[in-house]
Amino acid sequence: MKLVRYGTPGAEKPGIVDQDGVIRSLDGVVSDIAADVLSDDGLAKIRAVDLAKLPKVEDSVRLGPCVGRTGKFICIGLNYADHAAESGMAVPPEPVIFMKATSAIVGPNDQVKIPRTSVKTDWEVELGVVIGKTASYVSEDQALDHVAGYCVINDVSERAFQAERGGQWTKGKSCDTFGPTGPWLVTRDEVPDPQNLHMWLEVDGHRYQNGSTKTMVYGVRFLVHYLSQFMSLYPGDIISTGTPPGVGLGQKPEPIYLKAGQVMRLGIEGLGEQRQELVQA
C-alpha cells in the first residue's frame, strides 16, 4: 500500500493511493497515518477496505509528511562508503547516529527555507524507514518485522552550522523545513529488498546524486537492530539511513550550495518523488 497524508499543514487527513494512482480518503477509516495505525493489525484494517468505495481526493491537494506525530527522527551519517570518501572521512566502524528535530519535518513538495546567515545549505536524498511496532533489543533477523514501511527523505543540511559552529551535527540538520518526507509511506510488503533501490537527486534539472541503497555500509535490517540496543523505537519513529555520493559538499573542484529560487527534485525507486523550491527564510 501507498499511504499518504493530505491537506493543510497541521491538519492533514489520512489517505491511500489506489491502483490507478488516485488518492482516496481514509478519513473515518483511521484517524491518521501514525501510531497504532502503523502496526500490522492497523495496516491490515486498511488493507481490508474496498478502495473503490472511498471518496477521491483532488489531484491538486497538498501532500503532507507521510507519517504523523513522529516521536524520533533518527539519522545515520556516512552510511555510504562512496559518500564518506567524497566527504574526506573514513567509513565508521559503527553507525554514526544523530538526531534531526521533528520540527524540521515538512511535506514532500513544500518550500525549503534557507536559514538566515546560511552559506552552505546542501541536499541529501535518503531512504526513510518508518517503525510500525515497538523495537527494543531486537535481533537482526527479526528487525524488519518492526518496520511499517519506507519513504523518501531529503536530509537538507547546513554544512557550516553542522561542522564549523561547534558541538554536534544536530544544529546543521534541524532547521525549519530541513526534513521533507514522503510523498508516500510504502508498506514493507511492497519493498521486498530495501537494499536494492535506485535513488537520485537533481537541482535545477542537473542530476547530482545517482546512487543505490546497494552501497549502504549498514543496511536497514542491521540499523533497526543496532538502534534498538540503545533506545526503544516506537511506531511513527523515522530512521533516515544516509545518502549516496553527489552532495554539494563533495562537488569538484569547489563545493556547490543551494540558493533561493532553485528547485530540488529527488526520488527513490518505488517510493515516489519530491519537489522543493528554495526560498530565503
What is residue 81's predicted lDDT score, i.e. its pLDDT? 84
> Could you tell me if 209 and 237 lie in one domain?
yes
Output the pLDDT for position 99: 96
CA proximity to 157, closest of 242, 275, 65:
242
Tell me: do 47 and 91 sit in the same domain: no
For residue 95, tell me if it sits in a domain: yes
Could you tell me if residue 109 is inside a domain?
Answer: yes
Which structural domain, as residue segments, surrounds residue 33? Answer: 2-53
Mean pLDDT value across residues 142-146: 98
State how many domains the chain has: 2
Residue 206, number of CB atoms within 10 A of its CB: 8
The number of CA neighbours under 13 Å toward the Cβ of 120 is 16
> What CA–CA distance (Å, rounded) separates 45 from 28?
12
Q: Is the pLDDT of residue 89 over 80?
A: no
Please check whether residues 40 and 89 belong to one and the same domain.
no
> Whole-angstrom Cα distance, residue 236 to residue 134?
10
Mean pLDDT, rounded, of the chain? 96
Give the C-alpha distances (Å, rounded to integers) separating 137 from 42, 118, 219, 225: 23, 39, 17, 7
* DSSP code of residue 220: H
- Whether the per-residue pLDDT at 88 is higher than 90: the answer is no
31 and 129 share one domain:
no
- Give the integer Cα–Cα distance in Å for 113 and 130: 25
- Examine the pLDDT at 87 and tell me if it is beyond 80: no
Angle at CA of residue 234, ends 169 and 137, nearest 5°:
90
What percent of the chain lies above the pLDDT cut of 70? 100
Which pLDDT score, from 0 to 100, does residue 212 have? 96
At residue 15, the pLDDT reads 98
270, 196 contact by CB (below 8 A): no
Confidence at residue 156, expressed as pLDDT on a 0 to 100 scale: 98
Rounded to an integer, the average pLDDT of 147-166 is 96
Q: What is the pTM of this model?
A: 0.97
Three-class SS state of 81: helix
The answer on 183 and 235 residing in a single domain is: yes
Residue 90: its pLDDT value, please? 82
pLDDT over threshold 90, residue 111? yes
